[in-house]
Amino acid sequence: MGKCGKFLFIVASLIAVFVGVKIKECSKSPPIPTVPEPYWGPGKEVKDDTTIKPFKVNISDNVLDDLKNRLLRHRLITKSLEDSNHHYGINSALLSEVVDFWRNDYDWRKREVYLNKFPQFKTQIQGLDIHYIHVKPDTNIQKIPLLILHGWPGSVREFYEIIPMLTEVQKGRNFVFEIVAPSLPGYGFSDGASKSGLGAVEMSAVLKNLMIRLGYKRFYVQGGDWGSTLAATMGTIYPDYVKGIHCNMCMNYNPVSYLKLFVASFYPTYFMTEKEVESIYPLSNLMSKHVLESGYFHLQATKPDTLGVGLNDSPVGLAAYILEKFIIGTNYSYRNRMDGGLKIKFDYNKLLDNVMIYWVTNSITTSMRLYSETVNVAQRKYNINKIETKVPSACAQFINDLFYQPEWILRDKYVNMVHLKNFDDGGHFAALEVPGVLSQDIFEAITKMEVLETTKE
Ligand SMILES: *[C@@H]1O[C@H](CO)[C@@H](O)[C@H](O)[C@H]1NC(C)=O
Ligand SMILES: *[C@@H]1O[C@H](CO)[C@@H](O)[C@H](O)[C@H]1NC(C)=O
């Protein structure tokens, strides 16, 4: 080794030691924070009305007439470039077809009957009227409470197919679920905050308090998208209440995990299976997909109110914005199909039910604020991305989901992962798209968790 070589070797070793120490420091799980539970309602704090009020979806004729008018009188949709499909955003031909269906074939009063098929309620938590579906199966076999959480741009509509599967007695199973499916604060029929600061961590407190209000002391949490983040957060900060979590779209947002993926890229098969390697490398492809698809995130995380003005004023604009996400999230290649694949896994009624829940409640702006409130500086004090989740955890990884991390990375966060399964079908909106597969996986995972729970006692 020459003089220069020796020098470089020493410098490289020092850097390696430094990086090693830093990774170790950063990997240490910080303490669980005490989350404040302030009043989020308008004006001065008033005591919560703790009664539980039955609720039915019943939108006034005024709102529906106004919508009809707007759908009739919307301005010309700018024609998409001839060869672009959905690469510049949703294609104008598909959007026009959806709007035609909405105007002529979609029957809201019928859809209301459908949306009212499960018992729904509202109760006030920290100043917010929270809407939720509550299904208590009428059976003698064991009923296990499960809180299921939707994300953005979703709603409780995502769960209408899966709820019967989770609550009906089936051969070979010795339990069913008692389901609580709330509209997240600021989404659909739940109030949004009147004060700033209701991010994912604070929202977890609201949802925990909802379960306590309903009399549940120990329960499971399931979710996708924001629902997955919230389930993980609830499991992390409320292990006394949360028996376990099941997520479709498990994520480890600790910055160290990105560093690890980068380091592993030099010899990935040492850390992961071939299949996992294929899903994430080359990292440059993954990064460019994220850049292409995450513009909405940046806008919602910074200027949700400005963005919301237009979406809240134009049903066509709102449908375009939401449906584009269903195209991309269901199968990334669907953006190359003129029909966006929307009718392969869904139908226009289902998709418009979800759009309508945002429209009739004026909730697109308040829903988007969850991004700003979660990624802002104020949330850093909780260190939530660095705290290990110690409750039993399960991950269902659907092949077409928007994000993917290998088990090796996930286990750094979900240190008590009892179940992880990969599925060759299904995407980001798994509950709506493949309810049978998802419900089966929830049963499998929670069966394992229940065994742990009983051996603990
Ligand atoms: C909806 O509300 C209207 C009046 O506000 C009432 O006449 C109607 O019966 C309600 N429908 C349902 C399904 O509750
Ligand atoms: C995704 O869509 C493409 C094109 O339509 C299809 O060839 C592929 O099989 C789909 N993949 C999955 C996993 O559904």
Whether 66 maps to a domain, the answer reads yes
3-class DSSP state of 176: strand
Minimum CA distance residue for ligand 2 atom 12: 425
> Is 171 within the bounds of a domain?
yes
In this predicted structure, what is the pLDDT of residue 378?
86
Which of 369, 383, 124, 451 is CA-nearest to residue 237? 383
- Selection from 77, 97, 98, 99 nearest residue 88 by Cα: 77
For residue 31, tell me if it sits in a domain.
no
Within 6 Å (CB) of ligand 1, which residues are found? 56, 58
Q: Which of 238, 371, 404, 414 is catalytic?
A: 371
pLDDT at 1: 53
**Ranges assigned E (strand) in 411-454:** 417-427
Residue range 165-218, pLDDT digits in tens? 999 998 889 999 999 999 999 999 999 999 999 999 999 999 999 999 999 999
Distance 331 CA to ligand 2 centre (A): 6
Atom 6 (ligand 2) nearest CA: 333
Q: Which of 231, 133, 121 is nearest to 181 (CA)?
A: 133
Residue 141's DSSP bridge partners are none
In a domain, 149, yes or no: yes
Q: What is the pLDDT of residue 14?
A: 65
Ligand 1 centroid to 57 CA: how many Å? 9
Nearest to 179 by CA among 147, 221, 151: 147
Three-state SS for 26? helix
> What separation in angstroms does the CA of 170 have from each of 36, 353, 440?
41, 29, 11
**Total domain count, the chain:** 1
Locate the ligand 1 atom nearest the alpha carbon of residue 113 and give its number: 13
Q: Which ligand is nearest to the CA of 64?
A: 1
Q: Is 258 a catalytic residue?
A: no
Q: What is the model's pLDDT at position 406? A: 92
Q: What CATH number is attached to the domain comprising 229?
A: 3.40.50.1820
Q: Which atom of ligand 1 is nearest to the CA of 58?
A: 1
Residue 185 lies in a domain: yes
- What's the Cα-to-Cα distance from 264 to each of 28, 92, 396, 407, rounded to whole Å? 20, 43, 23, 13
Starting at the earlier edge strand, list the strands of the sheet with 417-427: 53-55, 120-125, 128-135, 175-182, 142-149, 219-224, 242-248, 393-400, 417-427
**Cα 413 to chain center, whole Å?**
18
Can you give the residue range of the structural domain that contains 278?
53-456
Give the residue, by CA position, lying nearest to ligand 1 atom 6. Answer: 58
pLDDT at 27: 64
Tell me phi and psi for residue 407, to 5 degrees.
Answer: -55, -40
Beta strands 142-149 and 175-182 are parallel
Cα–Cα distance, 343 to 97 (Å, whole number)? 12
Distance from the alpha carbon of residue 400 to the mean position of ligand 2, in angstroms = 9
As a whole number of angstroms, the distance between CA 97 and CA 212 comes to: 45
Predicted local distance difference test score (pLDDT) of residue 5: 64
Name the catalytic one among 191, 225, 353, 401: 225
Q: How far is the CA of 114 from the centre of ligand 1 (A)?
A: 15
- Which stretches of the chain score pLDDT less than 50? none
Determine the Cα–Cα distance for residues 161 and 439; give it in Å rounded to an integer: 10
CA–centroid distance, residue 55 to ligand 1 (Å): 12
pLDDT value, residue 12: 61
| Ligand 2, atom 7, residue with closest C-alpha | 333
Tell me, yes or no, whether 385 lies in a domain: yes
Active site residue 428: yes
Does residue 13 form part of some domain? Answer: no
- In this structure, which residue's CA is closest to atom 13 in ligand 1? 58
- Angle between helical axes of 295-302 and 364-375 (0-180°, round to 10): 90
Is residue 7 situated within a structural domain?
no
Distance in angstroms (rounded) separating the CA atoms of residues 177 and 169: 9
pLDDT value of position 452: 86
